[in-house]
């Protein structure tokens, strides 16, 4: 856990300087030109002034697995907007994201959410796929749950094979295992607590490290383009 977090921090702070040079998130008045452009053409052009999201979340919202940065392309706009709002008001804590989110108006946050919700990014295979035993365990947790741990199936809320249920639950399918594991850990230790009804905290508390490796690796293995 510690190593990737460290990579994440150093990487992002490095990028931040670059990003800030191109487009300052603290600009307080008009919506950023990039966001306006995005409304018309969801796929950003490398040449155009890009918002800082790209630096970490990628040009297509594909995320950065090694740094636990989530894939956000095609994620539900409601979910993304809620996360940005939660970063802005401190309900979800992350120093980097809080900086950006606080600098944006509610309207701008909604626009960014919509922009990434409209994107698509090709599936990225995992660097280290799971072995068959863990994959089977991950599939079991996704589809069925585990009565001995009182854990219900992930798919019950996150949709068939974790495709997500807009308005309610984010997709897990194709998300990086590294990000998913960091999220589950954050729910476990209470550093993330913006889940309605403590639903994710309740589930995460009952998973052990092997379960987390299995279920996050399983969802990372699901390539939605083949569905």
Interacting residue ranges for other proteins, rule: CB under 8 A:
143-147, 150-153, 155-157, 160, 196-199, 201-203
- Looking at the Cβ atoms of 10 and 189, the one nearer to other proteins is 189
Tell me how crowded residue 95 is: count the other CB atoms within 10 A of its CB. Answer: 10
CB of 152 to other proteins, least distance (A): 5
* Cα angle 87, 119, 169; round to 5: 50
CB of 201 to other proteins, least distance (A): 8
CB of 194 to other proteins, least distance (A): 14
CB of 123 to other proteins, least distance (A): 24
Residues in the chain: 227
CB of 52 to other proteins, least distance (A): 34
Tell me how crowded residue 58 is: count the other CB atoms within 10 A of its CB. Answer: 18
CB of 165 to other proteins, least distance (A): 11
Which residues, in sequence order, are CB contacts of 141 under 8 Å at separation 6+?
151, 153, 154, 207, 211, 214, 215, 218
- Looking at the Cβ atoms of 155 and 176, the one nearer to other proteins is 155
- Looking at the Cβ atoms of 45 and 198, the one nearer to other proteins is 198
- Looking at the Cβ atoms of 71 and 82, the one nearer to other proteins is 82
Report the SS3 class of residue 152: strand
- The Cα 226–Cα 119 span in angstroms is 18
CB neighbour class for 190 (10 Å; exposed up to 12, middle 13-18, buried from 19): exposed
Q: What is the number of H-type helices and E-type strands within the chain?
A: 11, 2
- Looking at the Cβ atoms of 117 and 151, the one nearer to other proteins is 151
Are 174 and 71 in contact by the 8 Å Cβ rule? The answer is: yes
Longest CA pairwise span in the chain (Å): 54
- Looking at the Cβ atoms of 122 and 156, the one nearer to other proteins is 156
């Amino acid at each position: 856990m510690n190593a990737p977090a460290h990579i994440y921090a150093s990487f992002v702070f490095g990028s931040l300087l670059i990003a800030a040079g191109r487009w300052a998130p603290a600009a307080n008045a008009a919506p950023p030109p990039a966001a306006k452009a995005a409304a018309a053409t969801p796929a950003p052009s490398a040449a155009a002034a890009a918002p800082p999201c790209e630096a970490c979340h990628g040009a297509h919202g594909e995320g950065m697995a090694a740094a636990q940065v989530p894939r956000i392309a095609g994620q539900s706009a409601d979910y993304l907007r809620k996360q940005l709002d939660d970063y802005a008001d401190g309900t979800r804590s992350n120093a980097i994201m809080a900086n950006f989110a606080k600098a944006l108006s509610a309207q701008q946050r909604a626009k960014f959410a919509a922009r990434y919700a409209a994107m698509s990014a090709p599936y990225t295979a995992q660097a280290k796929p799971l072995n068959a035993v863990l994959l089977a365990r991950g599939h079991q947790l996704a589809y069925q749950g585990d009565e001995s741990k009182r854990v219900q199936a992930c798919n019950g809320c996150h949709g068939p094979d974790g495709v997500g249920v807009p308005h309610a639950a984010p997709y897990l399918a194709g998300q990086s295992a590294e990000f998913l594991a960091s999220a589950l850990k954050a729910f476990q230790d209470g550093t993330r607590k913006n889940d309605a009804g403590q639903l994710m905290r309740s589930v995460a508390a009952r998973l052990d490290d092997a379960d987390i490796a299995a279920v996050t690796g399983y969802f990372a293995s699901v390539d939605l383009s083949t569905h």
